[in-house]
Amino acid sequence: MHSHFSDPFDVAIIGTGVVGCAMARRFTLDGARVVILEKAADVLDGASKANSAILHTGFDAPPGSLEQACIAAGYREYLDIHESLGLPLLKTGAMVLAWDADQLAQLDGLIAKAHKNGVMDVTLLTREQVLEREPHLADHVMGGFAVPGEYLIDPWASAHAYILQAMANGAELRRDCELLSGSFGNGHWTLETAQGTVQAKQVINCAGLYGDVVDQRLLGHADFQIKPRKGQFVVFDKPASELAQAVILPVPTKTTKGVVLFRTIFGNLAVGPTAEEQQSRTDASTDRDTLQDLRAKGIEMLPELANYEVTTVYAGLRPATEFQDYQISAHADQNYISVSGIRSTGLSAALGIARHVAGLNTSTGFARAPLTNPVCPPPDRLSNYHPRDWQEPNNGGIICHCELVTKREILAALEGPLPPRTLQGLKRRTRVCMGRCQGFYCTGPLSELTAGYLTPPLAEDCQ
Amino acid sequence: MTTCTIAIVGGGTAGLSLATRLCELGIRDVVVLEREPEAGGVPRHCGHYPFGVREYKRLMKGPDYAARNVATARAAGVDIRTGTTVTALHPNARLSLATPEGLTELQAQRVVLCTGVRESSRAQRFLSGQRPLGILSTGALQSMVFLHHKRPFKRPVILGSELVSFSAIMTCGHMGIKPAAMIEENPEIFVRKFMRPFPAIKGIPLHTGVRDLRILGGKTVEAVTFTDASGQARHIDTDGVIVSGRFRPESALLHASHLRVDPATGGPEIDQFGRASDPAYFCTGNLLRPVETSSWCWHEAAETAARLVDDLANPIGDAPQIRLQAADPAIRFALPQRFTRTDRSGGMEHMQIRLNKPASGYLSLTQSDKTLWSDYLGSRPERRIFAPLSPLASTADTATVKVKLL
Ligand SMILES: Cc1cc2nc3c(=O)[nH]c(=O)nc-3n(C[C@H](O)[C@H](O)[C@H](O)COP(=O)(O)OP(=O)(O)OC[C@H]3O[C@@H](n4cnc5c(N)ncnc54)[C@H](O)[C@@H]3O)c2cc1C
Ligand SMILES: Cc1cc2nc3c(=O)[nH]c(=O)nc-3n(C[C@H](O)[C@H](O)[C@H](O)COP(=O)(O)OP(=O)(O)OC[C@H]3O[C@@H](n4cnc5c(N)ncnc54)[C@H](O)[C@@H]3O)c2cc1C
């Protein structure tokens, strides 16, 4: 209804990674009429599909950087809104640990940096204090410091909630709708997409792993180049989560935050990520040797991990560029903002990035005044540390036994306001097939329950 | 909270056989808790022969056999509660349940865990490559084909060469699915000699000793690539991957509980009576180890029934135990993991042992450098191996007994 030729949208957002989702929420709440164009069949199909799900304080970000500012603002806003959006938060805290003398020598500097970044509650810990807090750690640990404000969140539910809130307040999402080209004139953009023409006064490029491609398509050039950097993970069985309370971070190197041991909001314990530069923007392959290495690294830090089975493995791609900081630039003469290179902290920073970009916005006035009483979408119920549907009566029965996903939850996802169109999407919304059996028990019943909803389907009907 | 005499977790072959036998032995209030909408366990979706030959003196397909096990149990007076998931095990035989009516608890005098085995996943094997749609275990394929009449692919490759990989071939045949190849990373195929020509008879190329296996595909599986035994790079176009075998006990409950787990089997630590580390808990069936046939599990569970009846009447309690430890890299697992020193009879008579790879030598039970028993062994990983438990009864020492191959 909004696509009437003479009635351009206030804002077109390209891409529904966590950044695009947060952007759609921000601009909708600020009163804009927003259209969101996503080339994939589902949201969160790019960089945002796989990360460590840590809500960072930004204690180790480069002081004075845009990244640091956005993380700090994003962190604050998440804490403000997560309850009203029904989003979980697991207050684990983190510890940065030194495993050799070299790393030990860097701790003071890192603490000073944290203080510069406004994260004042970090405290140095002796080896004994570290082991007292985390008794399962290998005893060759030499010391560390605590960052109490690093938390765990649900990486998918948060982004879903942002875009659902945008949609509930009038934003329009178009999936399978790749932006192909466009031109700017008469104060608005005319965008050609896989599903026809869209007009909008302002364009915000949140295309993540394709940030440079979209800049090229619309501006004719890009000031940076996306250099995908893969991170692989190994996820251990839920009982292993008792082995570490806090997120266990290493002393970072120049190129990476290093391999982290962290619980997940779903109750597992994971180790990763790696940092591997590659050409492909889509290939998130896992490699046996790398996974074995990661498992070994985990065991080196947490020896008892050797007794726990692996639940799953995965990999994600960071939209890194040749620059260290985020690549956010406004092209005021063309009503265009590129929000790119949101490399490895975008989940934490998304809400802050959206605020920053809203401040850069050049267009004059939106269709509406800022919303005073925006609608909230229904809450997420997937955290292992919060009540779940299987505990309620009349849930239709448990379909996925490992993650205790009910029939009612699956049907609610399939028929909800943001239906998944792929099995991956259904997994992110419900956690089916994400547990230790990886679909051994529930793929059969799921192939029947999801018939007609997913493309490609799990199986073809042979009744 | 409701109560019962014996609560059995899992209504598969073992749970049903055990429950039936308990009723036949005069125990009342035997409850089977099964999370699926129907009891019967894995054979429900093994739509092929041979099942039931020893149990019912008839050659049956899995689903008929499962139905027969259910009907026999019901007729014997077993209370089978389907759609009921046991969500936690508590000390002293108390269970948390999720039922269609909501959450509840059940207090039993003894609990028996019979939750079976499943195949390990592609992720657990650290298989390299992409993660498209169309990668399934044999169990998931069987469930799709036999319980839901669905066809997930037309020309998959089968990874693995265990008995269940051959079931995968038969399951494919049922739906007109034509496997493109059977691929085994080990140098040799994993079944008894007489079965080895089967893939060739079915026209399925077999590759053993493959390396660098990778799965390729965007939305759905497109190919697998690998280096074959001769060192040649191979690329097979395919639309699915059946990741078969490498069984692991379905021990989620166990891992989250107070009971001790044996990392070697992946199942519970038990004694010769099938008692877990909490003597109010017994375990039987394929939860004990990867993997036995249905027939084996049926008989093993029936034998467990007599031990339970005995223990109910006259509890064994906390008698001293000897630890049994597989102390040899060639030995994959040995069970039971503990031997309770008691004059009570009726426990298992043999240890069950499996190898990691073909091996030969003297299999021995040693305690503090004393050899309690030894015998010549030449065997392979797919074979059952036994060692007698009777020599343990005659030692007064409770030091660990090591199972070795010399
Ligand atoms: C291994 C790893 C670990 C991480 N850990 C953390 C962490 O613990 N905490 C944290 O805060 N961050 C973490 N991150 C970072 C975070 O995941 C990223 O910063 C974030 O996901 C980037 O999101 P994005 O929206 O910019 O990009 P994307 O998620 O890639 O979204 C871009 C979207 O645009 C779409 N698109 C592309 N081209 C077009 C087009 N032409 N037309 C229409 N749509 C298009 C894509 O399909 C995609 O959906 C991690 C990242 C990785 C890879
Ligand atoms: C894919 C596959 C194919 C096989 N094919 C054959 C074959 O062809 N021939 C053969 O002889 N053997 C076969 N087997 C071996 C099989 O394990 C045995 O046949 C037999 O099913 C084992 O019996 P069981 O009772 O130990 O386990 P299962 O039959 O697996 O029964 C376990 C039961 O416990 C239930 N359960 C688990 N956890 C819970 C819980 N928390 N709460 C409530 N209920 C729970 C499950 O739903 C299931 O019904 C196969 C096994 C697999 C996995």
Q: Is B145 in the pocket of ligand 2 (CB under 6 A)?
A: no
Q: What angle do CA A351, A354, A356 make, to 5 degrees?
A: 110
DSSP-derived 3-state class of residue A76: helix
- Domain regions of chain B by residue span: 1-119+246-317, 121-245, 320-406
- DSSP 3-state percent helix, strand, coil across chain B (nearest 5): 25, 35, 40
Q: Are B1-119+246-317 and B121-245 in the same CATH fold?
A: yes
Q: Is B171 in the pocket of ligand 2 (CB under 6 A)?
A: no
Give the closest residue to B234 by CA, choosing from B218, B210, B203.
B210
The answer to whether B121 contacts A437, with C-beta atoms less than 8 Å apart, is yes
pTM (2 decimals)? 0.97
How far off is chain A from B324, nearest CA to CA, in Å? 18
pLDDT tens for chain A, residues 1 to 463: 444 445 899 999 999 999 999 999 999 999 999 999 999 999 999 999 999 999 999 999 999 999 999 999 999 999 999 999 999 999 999 999 999 999 999 999 999 999 999 999 999 999 999 999 999 999 999 999 999 999 999 999 999 999 999 999 999 999 999 999 999 999 999 999 999 999 999 999 999 999 999 999 999 999 999 999 999 999 999 999 999 999 999 999 877 778 999 999 999 999 999 999 999 999 999 999 999 999 999 999 999 999 999 999 999 999 999 999 999 999 999 999 999 999 999 999 999 999 999 999 866 689 889 999 999 988 767 888 888 999 999 999 999 999 999 999 999 999 999 999 999 999 999 999 999 999 999 999 999 999 999 999 999 999 8
Domain B1-119+246-317 in CATH 3.20.20.450? The answer is no
What is the pairing mode between strands A151-152 and B350-355?
unpaired
Distance B69 CA to ligand 2 centre (A): 13
Which residue, by CA, sits nearest to atom 16 of ligand 1?
A346
How far off is chain A from B150, nearest CA to CA, in Å? 5
pLDDT value at position A183? Answer: 98
Q: Locate all alpha helices (DSSP H) within A207-281, ordered by sequence.
A: 211-219
Residues of B in contact with A304 (CB under 8 A): none
Give the closest residue to A236 by CA, choosing from B123, B133, B264, B130.
B123
Which residue, by CA, sits nearest to atom 35 of ligand 2?
B10
A221: its two tokens: 């050039």
Nearest by CB to A440, which of B119, B255, B261?
A: B119
How far off is chain A from B136, nearest CA to CA, in Å? 7
A311: its two tokens: 């639940």
Q: Is B274 in the pocket of ligand 2 (CB under 6 A)?
A: no
A250: its two tokens: 């290493």
Nearest by CB to B123, which of A238, A312, A460?
A: A312
The whole-angstrom distance between residue B291's C-alpha and the CA centroid of its chain comes to 4
The answer to whether B147 contacts A392, with C-beta atoms less than 8 Å apart, is no
The answer to whether B256 contacts A238, with C-beta atoms less than 8 Å apart, is yes
Q: Is B297 in the pocket of ligand 2 (CB under 6 A)?
A: yes
Quick one: CA dihedral B86, B88, B89, B95, positive or negative? negative
Q: What is the DSSP letter of B146?
A: I
Which domains are assigned to chain A? 3-50+155-225+323-360 (3.50.50.60), 89-152+227-318 (3.30.9.10), 389-461 (no CATH)
Residue at token pair 């040995």: B334
- Residue type, position A245, single letter: Q
Closest-approach residue (CA) in chain A for B82: A397
Residue A185 has a CB neighbour count (10 Å cut-off) of: 8
- Residue type, position B233, single letter: A
B43: its two tokens: 């054979």
Contacting residues for A47 by C-beta, under 8 A, at least 6 apart:
A17, A208, A209, A316, A317, A318, A319, A342, A346
* Phi, psi for residue A263 in degrees, rounded to 5: -75, 165
Our mutation pick for probing the ligand 2 site, out of B9, B32, B42, B136, counting the most ligand atoms within 8 A of Cβ, is: B42
Residues of chain B with pLDDT below 70 are none
> Containing H/E element for A81?
helix A66-81
pLDDT value at position B32? Answer: 98
Q: Which value, in Å, is the radius of gyration of the alpha carbons in chain A?
A: 22
Phi-psi domain of B243 (left: phi exceeds 0; alpha: psi -120 through 50; beta: other): beta
How far off is chain B from A12, nearest CA to CA, in Å? 27
Per the CB < 8 A criterion, the answer to whether A118 and A174 are in contact is no
**CATH superfamily, with its number, for domain B121-245:** FAD/NAD(P)-binding domain (3.50.50.60)
Looking at beta carbons, which pairs linking B329-334 to residues 24 or more positions away fall under 8 Å?
Answer: B329/B356, B330/B355, B330/B356, B330/B357, B330/B359, B330/B405, B331/B355, B331/B356, B331/B403, B331/B404, B331/B405, B332/B264, B332/B356, B332/B381, B333/B262, B333/B264, B333/B265, B333/B289, B334/B264, B334/B387, B334/B403
Edge-to-edge strand list for the sheet holding B385-388: B331-335, B350-355, B385-388
pLDDT value at position B190? Answer: 86
Our mutation pick for probing the ligand 2 site, out of B294, B303, B384, counting the most ligand atoms within 8 A of Cβ, is: B294
Quick one: CA dihedral A413, A418, A421, A422, positive or negative? negative
Taken as a whole, chain B contains a residue count of 406
Closest-approach residue (CA) in chain A for B145: A444
A437: its two tokens: 């059996």
Give the closest residue to B163 by CA, choosing from B294, B297, B358.
B294
pLDDT digits (tens, 9 = 90+) for B33-51: 999 999 999 999 999 999 9
Q: What is the DSSP letter of A451?
A: T
Which bound ligand lies closest to the C-alpha atom of B164? 2
